[in-house]
Amino acid sequence: MVTMIEEVSDIGRKTADESDSASAAAQQWRVSMSQVRDNVESLSSRAKRLRELLSMFNVSESDSTSVEAAV
C-alpha cells in the first residue's frame, strides 16, 4: 500500500514538473511571437516609407543612368 502511494506521489510530482515545463515553453513562445509581430510591423512601416521615397523619383527606361526627382 505504501509503495502504491509513493508511486502515485512520484507520478504527481513528475506531472507537475512537466506542466511547469510546458507552461514555460508556452510563455517563451508567446514572447517570441510578440517579437516577431513587432519586427513585422517595423518592416512594414519601413517598406511603406521606402515606397514613399521611391515615388519621388522617375527612372527613365531608355537610359538606365538617368534619374530625375519628381518634385
Regarding pTM above 0.85, the answer is no
pLDDT tens per residue, range 4-36: 889 989 999 999 999 999 999 999 999 999 999
Residue 59 contacts by C-beta under 8 Å, 6 or more apart in sequence? 66, 67
Report d(CA 33, CA 30) in Å as an integer.
Answer: 5
Closest alpha carbon to 68 in 13, 30, 57, 23: 57
Residue 71 contacts by C-beta under 8 Å, 6 or more apart in sequence? 56
User: Tell me, what's the pLDDT at 68?
Assistant: 67
In single-letter form, the type of residue at position 29 comes to W
Report d(CA 5, CA 11) in Å as an integer.
Answer: 10
User: Tell me, what's the pLDDT at 60?
Assistant: 73
Rounded to an integer, the average pLDDT of 41-63 is 89
